Chains A and B, each alone.
Chain A
Amino acid sequence: MSEMHHKKPESQEDAPLFGLLAEYNTPSELILASQKVRDAGFTRWDTFTPFPVHGIDRAMGIKMTRLPWLVLGAALAGLSLAIWLQWWTNAVDYPWIISGKPFWSLPANVPIMFELTVLFAGITAMVGMLVMNGLPEPAHPLDLKRRFARATDDKFFLLVETRDPRFDEVLTRSLLEKSHPAALEDVPEDRTTSAQIPTGLIYGLIVLTAIAVVPFALFAKARTTKSRNTRIHAIADMDSQPKFKTQRENLIFADGRSMRDPVAGTVAQGQLRDDDALYLGKVNGAWARTFPSQVTPTAELMDRGEQRFGIYCAPCHGQSGEGDGMVHLRASKLGQGWVQPSNIHQQYIREQPVGQLFNTITHGIRSMPAYGPQISAEDRWAIVLYLRALEKSRAANLGELTAEQRQNLK
């Protein structure tokens, strides 16, 4: 562009004509000239002035631009976007109860509607102007004319291009001469700077693009590779709080646990276990032979018992209690001194009082661990109830069946 106009490249000698450039000293001379050129019916011509010359539009016959319609369109777009944005976010996508107001109440949304309307319209006015004017325009044959530099200072120019169908080297020149220009010059095509983009600029752009890609590359890598480290998190805010949630680490204590054992002998509210029948399965010293008063054998309790049995007992003792649970099968395959869980249908177990069964579940027996901590007393009784039913299912004798049950058996 402008830096080219004082270079004198060799190739310019035989450059074909681009157009004729007439220079004037005052706006009025320019206007007169423009009217002549306009009336001569030229289309590919233009005038260049340091400031918008009043009346030149009509003199050149420039028609009103369509820019305002573009701007209007943009304004409406901004308005509708504002309405949609506020309605969708606050009323539809994530509705909030705010100050007892409806999820969608227009008055509060008006300011932003207005702002977005103006924003879109404004940007369009600017960008539209540039685009319609074909800006930015890096280079132009006129840049090669030194005197043209004054087009932005105090001189007024008129250019008729050879591309114009009515252009005739002789006639056009004479037409312009009739308007008494201060100067009239040929403008050759620009042969020197046409495809010339500074290499520095190109390399610069390449480097910038490369740099711009780096962060995304890092993200991509982070997403596809595994790392032992926790994720990067510059500002923790309240993500890690100086309090001990359950089962966390606390370096104060030798065992590193934040969780402390209850002090021996203490009794928590609602955990006073002073009912032997219910909590120990004992009635004055001996194993209880009946269920404690708090536990009434019902269908619900039976279901509960079955469910608990399935969760806690079946893995070892097996669904039917024959001591052939999954754990047993697997363990005996590995066969490292694994003792088979007892089959609950054995005689001596069948004869055990319920209290004793309860006690076994509570404190465990032989290699069976204690389930007291994990299963509440009520549930343990439910399991006992279910056990009894299981046993019965194997050892029921006809005498215990009603007449039609016997019928069904047949």
Chain B
Amino acid sequence: MSSMNAKHPRPTYWRSLAELDQDPKFQQMLATEFPEPLDGREMAPGTPARRRFLQIMGASFALGGCRFQEDKLLPFSRRPEGVLPGEPRRFATAMELGGVATGLVVTSYDGRPVKVEGSPLHPTSGGGASSLHQALVLGLYDPDRSEGITRLQGQARVAALPAQFEEFVAAERPNWQSRGSSVRVLSSLSSSPSLAAMKQRFLTAFAGAKWIDYSAVETDNLEAGTTLCFGKPHQAVYQLENARIVLSVHSDVASSTDPAGIVAGRGLARGRVPEGQPMSRVYAVESSLSLIGGIADHRLSMSAGSAKAFLAALDAELSSKLGDAGKGAQPKPAAKFLAEPSIAKFIAALTQDLLANRGAAVLLVGSRLPPEVQALAQRLNVLLDGVGRTVTYHEVPVRERRKDALQALVQDIQAGRVETLLVLGENPVLTAPTDLGFAAALAKVKTSIALSEFEDETALLSSWHVPLAHPLEAWGDSLAHDGTITLAQPLIAPLFGGRSVLELLALLANDPKRDGLEIVRRTHAGSLPNQKAWDRAVHDGFISGTMAAPASVTVGVLPTFALAESELRNGEASNGKLEIVLAPDSKVYDGRFGNSSWLQELPEPLSKQTWGNAVWLSPGTGKALSIADGDLVKVSAAGKELTLPALHVPGQAEGSLRIALGYGRYAAGHVGGLASANVDPVGANAYVLSALGAPFLLSDASITRLDGRQAIASVQDLHAIDAVGQAGIDERRGLLLAEANLEEFQKEPDFAKHLVHHPPLESMWNDPVSYEGHKWGMAIDLNKCTGCSACITACQAENNIPVVGKDSVLMGREMLWLRVDRYFSGSPENPKLSFQPVPCQQCENAPCEQVCPVGATMHSHEGLNDMVYNRCIGTRYCSANCPYKVRRFNYLNFHLDKVEATPFQTVTNKKKLLMHMVFNPEVTVRARGVMEKCTFCVQRIQNVKIKAKNVKRSIADGEIKTACQQTCPASAITFGDLNDPTSLVAKDHALPRAYSILEELNNRPRVRYLARIRNPHPELG
């Protein structure tokens, strides 16, 4: 335990104990404790933040006040073994999302976690991590996390001491034991063995109690589908690297919202190497753009409703070809749209490919599609001999369907059969379907205990709120995508004395073991008998050899599926016949990350929207219903309505709307929205549309334009592109982003080098230095990049990149060092999608350097384009002269305004101090008025160089990894020493398809791109 909690086992986060008694004054103080909003919008010019007055104060007693700040040194009196002050240590841990664990490695600086990365040792994550993982540290140091236990007194929430809560529990426990049937537990869907064990203890302790696995996003269909297909619920594990043909039907695989996204991304990337090995071909059928849709060689926009008919047709086609007709094969559905030439051709080519690649083909189906479709897909996977090659199955325990469980729960509450309700780490008041009326029901329950990180929507209505320990604060375990048991160790003692789910249950069930560590160890006592084995497992972050054994499956005979009228047509752009797809957001997931400013400002990979959600519709549908970009619209389905801005997205299926879930929160915090502090919600809450029967896929919806518009804070095409601009883009896209089809590439492998015709690039000067020693360079493979944007958040976390807030994004002042540019080509109905990550190109003839009047940016002897923050006076000439526009300028005091660091006095506001803790101590925290840009993570380079120098050894290739490279699931980025011909990056630079952007300017960038190669079917071209 950290001394803070050891000395004061109370939420003494910044109040003295005296304040903690229940007097009303203190309650007011609680309400008024929060300082000005932290989300950056107070920094809009013209609205000075409070600290400006502090500054004025400081400035006013000028000579007296503005003195150099004093610094204290506080060393350990007794230093623990293995701890060297200032020497970062790395710990293996894990994060569970949607019941699937991802193995992580977290860097801890002086015992404070500062950076999250994927664990290279871990079988599934293999070093990759998504934006959600990257943003964990920011969540840990979020000043809006609840500081202590609160309980409902009348209408007001009052703080309570842990002791008081424990007394309450002790008093209540007998009732629970006697009337266990009145106890309900709403736990977040988890695969944790310890939780399963704890669940058993709980249910035995309180006989008759009911346990509900809750998830805000769709999880039932897959299991229902496999049950339908194999008789038992199974988990499908795909090996995309073995697939030659991949068909994705509305699947969001490779996205951060997919629990297996990292594995899938890596698998896909492995198949997309055009050199040497045969290259995979990806087909995508989907209602809205997705990352895999971006990779796809062939993409078909098709409304989600018509997926069933599509797969049925495919099934019929394949079954007949494979002579499997009759054995549960579907008849060819009588859907007109299947006869459309484009679709018919698509299916023909697809069937041909699938048949030609039996054993190397795989079908992925989005979890939102109904069980029948899932069943069909798995049936075809088996039929195409995918089992054991491209897909394996393992059994998963049978679970009650979410729908039934929730319905039963609410009915029981209404009938007064429930006296105690535990909500563990979930936020059903926000996320449960509205027609369920959960909020109303919750109020009826006598004792409701909400365990959550924030005092969120659910916690506010519960009679007790207990702070949940952050994933980086608690011991835990859960299963990875392939069933490997993954262990999570804490990086720091709970900052607010939060409890993990296990610890709370242990307390309630009066488990002899109360400490998270002990509980988890007990679970694995069998497999890890002694300390050594345990330590090894903790060190690695997982128990090796626990991967789930593949089950052998037999496909049952499927009934002929009935097709509703709406499922027989392929979308229709007319009100009352629209479909709405509600998808978890790639940034805030189901809303739980709503208060993370990194994620809120992260551009959505496809729409490039920051700070909020919008309803996606195709330009065609927009025209048909006369709805323009940014129009405020009312979306309605089954009598429920939602108002939000509209966004035209190419490749959206006609008549299909997509809305991201997880926005519009009113109790998220000062970033995501906090009614109590008059902070407007970010985006609109799409859960209000979801119904118990059809939670995420609604049909027969309408959309109507309201008067009024709402600016969409997008980082690309912020302003609508006019005809002239569009022409310009079309003209140059091909020059900046080299693309070719496989056979073209094989004919002319170095086509990318001849995109632009230019005279020989000769400088009139000789180089002042010949980069001996190291010569750092980077290569980015556009063929592997899925555009998932994990690299952006990784960069932000590593390099202390400020968040600027929605208003500044709207002014085009975002600070992200690494952009992922997204380009559309082809028809807006069915566009080709291309991504291009753009960091600083570290040009050898850097145009930025010669224009700086003060030499604030210059070249290092290793060829890095260094930025000297202290020397920079902010003429912004370098940015003006940078053809890649990768330089970012601190137009305002983005950082220091938010963390209230004034030059004149030490910060005492503990909330602000907490925010200081997220900064990487090895990177400058830039002040206003200075230019900044990608440094190739120079601090990482230096660390390794120093280590190597100390022991007089040379640096191995791959020893230095930049933050973006490190986190990339597809390992599309390579970095290293170009002087070492054997290094990966040197090899990549030597590839024929390597090229650099705007080569004709002779800036000689150190970043080279590997051209994008598509592998289309000859018939479809």
Contact = CB atoms under 8 A, between A and B. Distances in A.
A263 B492 contact: yes
Interface in B875-916: 895-896, 899, 901, 903-904, 907-908, 910, 912-916
Given A236-B903, A260-B492, A373-B79, A255 B859 contact: no
Contact of B71 (A100, A248, A271): A248
B920 interface: yes
A108 to B, nearest CB: 8
Interface stretch (B88-96, B260-268, B336-344, B548-556): B88-96
Nearest to A239: B68
Contacts of B539: 267-269, 271-272
Nearest to B912: A242
Interface in A73-107: 95-103, 105
Contacts of B71: 240, 248-249
Kindly state the interface size class of chain A when it binds its partner: 35 or more
Contact of A243 (B7, B849, B920): B920
Nearest to B532: A274
A274 B910 contact: no
A277 B927 CA distance: 52
Given A105-B765, A263-B493, A272-B536, A232 B921 contact: no
A250 B68 contact: no
B535 A100 contact: no
A231 B489 contact: no
Contacts of A95: 768
Contact of A269 (B1, B3, B91, B475): B91
B765 A101 contact: yes
Contacts of B846: 99-100
Interface stretch (B59-67, B311-319, B572-580): B59-67
Interface in B288-316: none
A268 to B, nearest CB: 4
A197 B551 CA distance: 112
A247 B74 contact: yes
Contacts of A265: 475, 489, 517, 538
A25 to B, nearest CB: 60
A98 B858 contact: yes
B823 interface: no
A257 interface: yes
Contact of A103 (B105, B489, B536, B768): B768
B538 A267 contact: yes
A240 B538 contact: no
Given A233-B67, A255-B4, A244 B112 contact: yes
B69 interface: yes
A374 B82 CA distance: 8
Nearest to B848: A99
Given A98-B855, A253-B3, A263-B492, A247 B75 contact: yes
Nearest to A253: B4
A102 B90 contact: no
Interface string A347-382: 000000000000000000000000011100000000
A273 B535 CA distance: 9
Nearest to B920: A243
Interface string B922-962: 00111100100000000000000000000000000000000
B8 A258 contact: no
Given A100-B859, A103-B768, A230-B70, A242 B763 contact: no
B544 to A, nearest CB: 14
B85 A254 contact: no
B523 to A, nearest CB: 15
B1004 interface: yes
B924 A241 contact: yes
A96 B846 CA distance: 13
B870 A237 contact: yes
A252 interface: yes
B74 A249 contact: yes
Contacts of A231: 67-68
Nearest to A91: B768
B910 A252 contact: yes
Contacts of B493: 260-261, 263
Contacts of A230: 67-70
28 contacts: A97-B849, A99-B849, A100-B1004, A102-B765, A102-B768, A103-B768, A108-B850, A233-B68, A236-B66, A241-B901, A242-B896, A246-B85, A246-B109, A248-B72, A250-B917, A253-B4, A254-B8, A255-B4, A258-B74, A260-B493, A261-B111, A261-B493, A263-B492, A266-B91, A268-B91, A271-B539, A274-B532, A373-B80
Interface of B: 1-4, 7-8, 12-14, 59, 62-63, 66-76, 78-83, 85-86, 89-92, 105, 108-112, 475, 489-493, 495, 517, 532, 535-536, 538-539, 763, 765-769, 800, 844-847, 849-850, 855, 858-861, 869-870, 895-896, 899, 901, 903-904, 907-908, 910, 912-917, 919-921, 924-927, 930, 1004
Given A99-B846, A257-B76, A264-B1, 14 more contacts: A97-B858, A97-B860, A234-B62, A236-B69, A238-B927, A242-B919, A252-B14, A254-B4, A256-B72, A258-B110, A259-B74, A268-B90, A271-B539, A274-B536
The 3 A-B pairs of least Cβ separation, nearest first, read A236-B903, A260-B111, A246-B86
Interface of A: 95-103, 105, 108, 229-274, 372-374
